């Protein structure tokens, strides 16, 4: 009887241990804990994405149409695992177009797809398609036929898709034309804006061109107005229309090139922005003399999280107007510099000369200088129980930094961060691409020979000696 009770007790202990293990496994599956011990933050999500996922209340289905052999497959897989870990509302389905053509055709008809290597975000009756060109920057290296990926933009593309689906309607951004501005339909490397236009479209925004000469006012559906490098003077009527739009809680981005009279100068002065007819030279942050690399960012939502260097070309200074120069009215706009040049920079006034040198007697001034400002002004009148959006404006001292050939470093990030601030889409600001790192093991001929003798001769010899030692011990 005692033996039976002892056996029963042992069996009960085993069953209890089994139940405890199952409970631990169930709890761990329902509440996983992950930690990154690799020392690399390549797949870590930004604070803005984490905030976006915390606010996600509806279930989003993510369908990935990528083959396992694709170079971006594992980057997408690891990144989506992070999204799923931080939100249970992210459901992912993997479909290999080559191995599962039936499922691929079914979903392609549902989503209206015409190509593979895409990621589809679906929520209810709304969907967003992210293409492989949206996921990474690439370039064709010399001697290679296929493009090489240089930076992974997965988080920016995925968070933008989720945010767009959560928001519903797409904000409409107008680009002003008619005064020599850069055009979205221009594919030229020097003057075209086609690439930045594609980026704006991919950020769940609509774009359209606007010519004010045939309008009575800026359209009411304009979420923002971009004035990209006009080289002809606007009429006073057009400037009044732009300022009227600003006064109606409008959002305007102005990019002004050096030595250009646009007609916007009096309006900008009224809004607290000071312009000089100069070219800013910064010998400490330049490669060719005509460019300025921006490394010092100010504490503002547009610029404070910029992680890459921005490159401007022949920029002009854009400074806040001092209180002595400007108005001191109660509704005076708030003007905040976004970034600065170095102390060795100067404002060059002898722009007709081929060689730039500092000459205080001719009006040159020492830096640092601001090359861009953010302007914000609240409602012009107080209305009880009514929340009126503030007017916002961003002014840059260069328009070439986002041309097709000028999209280097953090230029795209700066433009999109400024645009998202204008649109009050802070969740998507400054999510920068992550450079793709290739881990290579470089060994010299001497090191290769050492590895050969260690693996081919050394380790087998050690095993043989140990075997002989054991054999001798047993013989004795």
Q: Do 410 and 322 have their domain in common?
A: yes
Query: 219 versus 442: which is more confidently predicted?
Result: 219
297 has a pLDDT exceeding 60? yes
265 has a pLDDT exceeding 70? yes
Residue 384 confidence (pLDDT): 43
Query: 168 versus 374: which is more confidently predicted?
Result: 374
Q: Do 201 and 299 have their domain in common?
A: yes
Mean pLDDT over each residue of the chain, to the nearest integer: 84
Q: Based on the structure, what is the number of domains in the chain?
A: 2
Q: Do 341 and 212 have their domain in common?
A: yes
Tokens of 194: 């086609």
User: Residue ranges of the alpha helices (H) in 232-317?
Assistant: 236-247, 265-270
Q: How confident is the model at residue 454 (pLDDT cuts 50, 70, 90)?
A: confident
Residue 144 confidence (pLDDT): 63
Residues 144-169, mean pLDDT to the nearest whole number: 80
Q: Do 223 and 314 have their domain in common?
A: yes
Percent of the chain with pLDDT over 70: 84
Q: Do 355 and 401 have their domain in common?
A: yes
Instruction: Say if residues 224 and 422 touch (Cβ distance below 8 Å).
Output: yes
Q: Do 174 and 235 have their domain in common?
A: yes
Highest mean pLDDT, choosing among 252-256, 278-282, 367-371, 454-458: 252-256
Is the previous residue joined to 258 through a cis bond, with omega within 30 degrees of 0? no
Q: Do 269 and 343 have their domain in common?
A: yes
- Residue 106: other Cβ atoms inside 10 A: 12
Question: Which residue carries 């990144």 as its tokens?
Answer: 79
Highest mean pLDDT, choosing among 35-49, 51-65, 358-372: 51-65
* Domain assignment of residue 204, given as a range: 169-431
CA angle 73–429–292, rounded 5-degree value: 100
Does residue 447 lie in a domain region? no
Residues 96-112, mean pLDDT to the nearest whole number: 88
470 has a pLDDT exceeding 50? yes
Q: Do 190 and 302 have their domain in common?
A: yes
Does residue 154 lie in a domain region? no
Whole-prediction pTM value? 0.69
Does residue 315 lie in a domain region? yes
Residue 381 confidence (pLDDT): 45
**DSSP character string of 344-379:** T-EEE--TTSSS----GGGT-EES--BSEEEEEE--
Domain closes at, from 149, 183, 210: 149
Q: Quote the CA–CA distance of 175 and 399 in Å, as a whole number.
A: 13
Please name which of 171, 199, 204, 164 lies closest in space to residue 60, comparing C-alpha atoms.
Answer: 164
Query: 90 versus 413: which is more confidently predicted?
Result: 90
Q: What is the CATH number of the domain that holds 201?
A: 3.40.50.880
Does residue 227 lie in a domain region? yes
Q: Do 201 and 312 have their domain in common?
A: yes
Query: 467 versus 334: which is more confidently predicted?
Result: 334
Q: How confident is the model at residue 152 (pLDDT cuts 50, 70, 90)?
A: confident
Does residue 471 lie in a domain region? no
**DSSP character string of 425-437:** -GGGTT---EEPP
Residues 125-134, mean pLDDT to the nearest whole number: 83
Q: Do 124 and 216 have their domain in common?
A: no
Domain closes at, from 120, 149, 178: 149
Q: Do 109 and 177 have their domain in common?
A: no
357 has a pLDDT exceeding 90? no
Q: Quote the CA–CA distance of 474 and 476 in Å, as a whole number.
A: 5
328 has a pLDDT exceeding 80? no
Q: How confident is the model at residue 209 (pLDDT cuts 50, 70, 90)?
A: very high
Does residue 158 lie in a domain region? no
What are residue 94's DSSP bridge partners?
Answer: 64
Q: What is the CATH number of the domain that holds 106?
A: 3.40.30.10
Does residue 241 lie in a domain region? yes
Please name which of 96, 66, 94 lies closest in space to residue 81, comparing C-alpha atoms.
Answer: 94
Percent of the chain with pLDDT over 90: 40
Residue 442 confidence (pLDDT): 62
Exposure class string for 237-248: b at 16+ Cβ within 10 A, else e:
ebbebbbebbee
Q: Do 97 and 192 have their domain in common?
A: no
Residue 366 confidence (pLDDT): 86
Residue 6 confidence (pLDDT): 74
Does residue 249 lie in a domain region? yes
Query: 146 versus 25: which is more confidently predicted?
Result: 25
Q: How confident is the model at residue 240 (pLDDT cuts 50, 70, 90)?
A: very high
Query: 134 versus 84: which is more confidently predicted?
Result: 84
């Amino acid at each position: 009887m005692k033996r039976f009770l002892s056996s029963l007790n042992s069996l009960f202990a085993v069953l209890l241990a089994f139940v405890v293990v199952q409970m631990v496994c169930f709890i761990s599956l329902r509440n996983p804990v992950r930690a990154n011990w690799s020392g690399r933050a390549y797949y870590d999500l930004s604070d803005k994405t984490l905030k976006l996922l915390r606010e996600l209340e509806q279930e989003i289905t993510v369908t990935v149409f990528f083959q396992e052999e694709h170079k971006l497959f594992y980057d997408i897989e690891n990144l989506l695992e992070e999204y799923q870990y931080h939100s249970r509302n992210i459901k992912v389905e993997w479909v290999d177009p080559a191995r599962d053509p039936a499922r691929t055709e079914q979903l392609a008809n549902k989503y209206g797809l015409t190509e593979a290597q895409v990621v589809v975000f679906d929520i209810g009756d709304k969907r967003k398609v992210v293409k492989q060109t949206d996921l990474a920057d690439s370039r064709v290296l010399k001697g290679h036929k296929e493009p090489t990926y240089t930076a992974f933009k997965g988080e920016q593309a995925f968070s933008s898709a989720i945010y767009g689906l959560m928001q519903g309607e797409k904000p409409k951004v107008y680009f002003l034309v008619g005064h020599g501005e850069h055009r979205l339909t221009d594919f030229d490397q020097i003057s075209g804006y086609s690439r930045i236009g594609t980026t704006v479209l991919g950020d769940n925004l609509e774009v359209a061109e606007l010519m004010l000469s045939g309008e009575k006012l800026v359209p009411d559906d304009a979420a923002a107005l971009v004035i990209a490098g006009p080289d002809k003077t606007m009429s006073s009527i057009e400037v009044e229309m732009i300022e009227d739009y600003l006064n109606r809680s409008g959002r305007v981005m102005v990019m002004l090139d050096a030595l250009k009279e646009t007609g916007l100068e009096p309006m900008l002065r009224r809004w607290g922005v000071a312009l000089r007819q100069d070219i800013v030279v910064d010998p400490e942050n330049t490669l060719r003399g005509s460019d300025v690399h921006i490394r010092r960012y100010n504490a503002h939502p547009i610029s404070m999280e910029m992680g890459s260097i921005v490159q401007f070309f022949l920029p002009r200074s854009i400074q806040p107007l001092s209180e002595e120069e400007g108005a001191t009215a109660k509704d005076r706009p708030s003007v905040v510099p976004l970034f600065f040049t170095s102390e060795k920079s100067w404002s060059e006034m002898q722009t007709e000369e081929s060689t730039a040198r500092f000459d205080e007697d001719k009006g040159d001034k020492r830096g640092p200088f601001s090359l861009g400002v953010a302007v914000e002004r609240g409602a012009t009148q107080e209305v009880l129980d009514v929340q009126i959006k503030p007017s916002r404006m961003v002014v840059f001292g260069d328009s070439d930094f986002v041309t097709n050939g000028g999209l280097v470093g953090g230029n795209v990030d700066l433009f999109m961060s400024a645009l998202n601030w204008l649109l009050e889409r802070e969740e998507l600001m400054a999510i920068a691409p992550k450079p793709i790192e290739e881990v290579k093991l470089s060994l010299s001929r001497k090191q290769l020979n050492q590895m050969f003798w260690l693996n081919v001769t050394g380790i087998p010899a050690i095993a043989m000696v140990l075997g002989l030692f054991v054999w001798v011990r047993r013989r004795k």
